[in-house]
Amino acid sequence: MQYLIIASALLFVVLTAFAGENVSAKGNSVAVFGGGCFWCMESPFEQLEGVVDVTAGYAGGDEVDPTYGQVSSGRTSHIESVQVVYDPEKISYDELLDTFWRQIDPTDDSGQFADRGNHYRTAIFYSNEEEKEVAEKSKEKLNAAEVFDRPVVTAIVPAKKFYPAEEYHQDYYRKNVAHYSAYKIGSGRAGFLNNVWGEDSGHKEYIKPDDSVLRSTLTDLQYDVTRKDATEPAFNNTYWDNKEAGIYVDIVSGEPLFSSLDKFKSGTG
């Protein structure tokens, strides 16, 4: 999230995982993964059948009730993580691991993409010996497949208490589609995953939020233009005279549209 780029314009369940506890209410299980920026880790898991809920947060450290400001500045021993609540009768822990590997660069032990520092490193937090064994075998399998030019260095460590992040970070990819997409592209994550996995990255890249979400997040003009085929008035919209460099993206889906390098002065607004 430290990478800035120009872009055009709930369920939140607080579940806390402790070491040795990986079962939530109604027989669901809980898994915790650190994959760098937690904005980019929610969507892939939430799209999986059998996943009940995904919460962005902080894990692996000893500090109590850490804040985003503390963690993102490297002032704690926590890393950005996601907590995945899932039904083990519908999806296995091993399948979650497969999705996890396809969202990260597991060969980087100093951060992820544009986000550098130990607080952005990758990790699998196991809650029991069975999870540890499954995770280690999954890591060995990935190394043996030689998908990457360097060895997989993602840590497999005992789970500590998980702390949910602030509300504005939850489902960020839905609430702030344009900024999320621009960040994922600009940070280098999207390009890396596409180069390594292509269409097998494990999730759809661009998602159109429900109409109710769009009504609450878009301005009246943005909603009318994107949903009702309305037209912005010439010389009277947010980006008509924007001269900053960046990537323009679809405000609804986050799909990249064009680079500022492709702009030219047409005289039409």
What is the set of active-site residues? 37
CA–CA dist 130, 228 (Å, integer): 52
Kindly report the number of other CB atoms within 10 A of residue 59's CB atom. Answer: 25
Contact (Cβ atoms closer than 8 angstroms) between residue 131 and residue 125: no
CA–CA dist 83, 63 (Å, integer): 18
For residue 123, report the phi and psi dihedrals to the nearest 5 degrees.
Answer: -160, 150
Beta bridge partners of 23: 29
Contact (Cβ atoms closer than 8 angstroms) between residue 140 and residue 96: no
- DSSP assignment of 178-206 equals HHHHHHHHHTTHHHHHHHHHGGGSSS-S-
Contact (Cβ atoms closer than 8 angstroms) between residue 54 and residue 45: yes
Q: Which two tokens stand for residue 16?
A: 């806390």
